[in-house]
Amino acid sequence: MQEYIDFLNTLDEKGRRVAAVVHDHIADRYPEYKPFNIRPMNNAQNKWQMNFRKKPEFGKAFCSLYSLDGKLSIRVVGSGFMNYELFLRQNEFGDKVRNYFFAGGFCENCGKKCFQEYREYWYINGELLATGCKKNETAKEYVGVIDDYAAINNVGEGDIQDLLYLLDIQAKHISKPKNPKEIRGNGYAETSKNRCGNVTVITLEETKLDIYEFEISDYCAAKRLDKYTAEYSLTPMGVSDEGIWFYHDQKAVCGENGNDYNYTTFPEGRYAAVTVDDPLSFSAWRVWTYIAGWIRENGAEIRPVNIGNVPYFAKFYRKGVGEYMSVYVPMK
C-alpha cells in the first residue's frame, strides 16, 4: 500500500523500524484491523496519522500511529475494563508506557468536594485512586498530547516489547461485546443514588461458608448470574443462610481464573454497604464506585483483608419474589 510507504518515509530510521514491527504484529495476530486514514494532518506535512481499524472511517481504532517531525508516537485508547487491567499490571511495563496509561491523572481529594458525575475509582496496591481534576505532570517526559488525547512520544526500539504487550491486552478488551450496563448517559449519578440508596456502615462477624450442598438457583437466576459474575470478575466463595457470596477478584480482571471456592471464610470487621434490587439489571462496578465515592468523601479508608487486594464483596439472595445484591467494602 503506497500510503503506508508514504507514512514510513516521513519517519526517522528508528521510527520506521518500530512502525514496521507494530504493523507486522497487527497483520499477523489481528488481521481484521488494517491501516487506514493515512494522511498528513497539516499543510506543512510534518504531522501524519495512521489508524488501524476494521473499516476505513467507522468504529473504534485498534491503535493510532503518528509521525511528528519524523518521530513516531502511538496512541492506544482502551475499551471496557482495559485501564483497570493496565493499572493492575503496571509493574510489567517500563516507565514510558506505564506513564502513558497514568497520564489522565487522578483526583487528589483536596477537600474542595469537586463533583464529577462519571468519576471512577480503583483500589490499586492498597490505595484508592479516582479520576479527577489533576493531570499526571510526571508523564511529560514520555507523553504528549495529539488532538487533546495522550500519546506515547518518541517511540524507539526499546519500547517494542511493551507496545506489543499493550496491543495484546487491547485486543482482548476491544473484542468483548459492549456491556450495556456500563453505558453512561444523562442522570448517571442520580440513577446510581436512586438504585443504591444510603451507604450503611455495619460490623459483620467472620462467617464460614458452605461449598458443597447448595443450588445457585436458590439465590439467583443461575445462568444470568454466571454471565454477570464473569463480567465483573466476581469469584465465588460459598453460601450461608443469607445468600451466595463472591469477592471481586483482581486476578480475574487480568484473566487469571480458577480461584473458585479457594476462600471460603468471609472476614469479620466493619464494612460500608448498600443493597440493590434486581441486581442483574444493574452494574456491580457502578455500586462499587458509589460506595468508594462515599468512602472518599467521608475521609474513610479501605481495610486490607486476608484474601488480598479485594475492593469489595457481593452477596446475592432472594427475598420473597425479589432478587437482591448487597455489596460490602471493607473499612478501617
Give the pTM. 0.92
Percent of the chain past pLDDT 70, that is, above it, reads: 97
* Nearest-5° Cα angle at 272, 326 to 227: 35
What's the pLDDT at 134?
66
DSSP of 279-305, one letter per residue?
GGGS-HHHHHHHHHHHHHHTT--BPPB
Q: How far apart are CA 54 and CA 41, in angstroms?
A: 21
Domain boundaries, the chain: 2-174, 182-331
* Cβ neighbours for 81, distance < 8 A, ≥ 6 positions apart: 173, 233, 253, 285
**Of 114, 108, 150, 110, which is closest to residue 127 (Cα–Cα)?**
108
**Of 287, 243, 78, which is closest to residue 171 (Cα–Cα)?**
78
What's the pLDDT at 164?
98
Give the model confidence (pLDDT) of 10-58 as tens digits: 999 999 999 999 999 999 999 999 999 999 998 888 899 999 999 987 7
| Fold of the CATH domain 182-331 | Multidrug-efflux Transporter 1 Regulator Bmrr; Chain A (3.20.80)
Give the model confidence (pLDDT) of 72-83 as tens digits: 999 999 888 999
- For residue 322, what are the β-bridge partners? 319
What phi, psi does 208 have (nearest 5°)? -80, 125
Q: Which burial class, exposed, middle or buried, applies to 156 when counting CB atoms under 10 A from its CB (0-12, 13-18, 19+)?
A: middle
> Over 80: is that where the pLDDT of 114 sits?
no
pLDDT band (50, 70, 90) for residue 138: low
DSSP of 92-112, one letter per residue?
GS-HHHHHHHTTT-B----SS
Q: Residue 51 gets which letter from DSSP?
A: E
Rounded to the nearest integer, the mean pLDDT of the chain is 92
Give the model confidence (pLDDT) of 281-292 as tens digits: 999 999 999 999
Q: How far apart are CA 311 and CA 317, in angstroms?
A: 20
Give the model confidence (pLDDT) of 207-238 as tens digits: 999 999 899 999 999 999 999 999 999 999 99
Are 128 and 51 spatial neighbours (Cβ–Cβ below 8 Å)? no
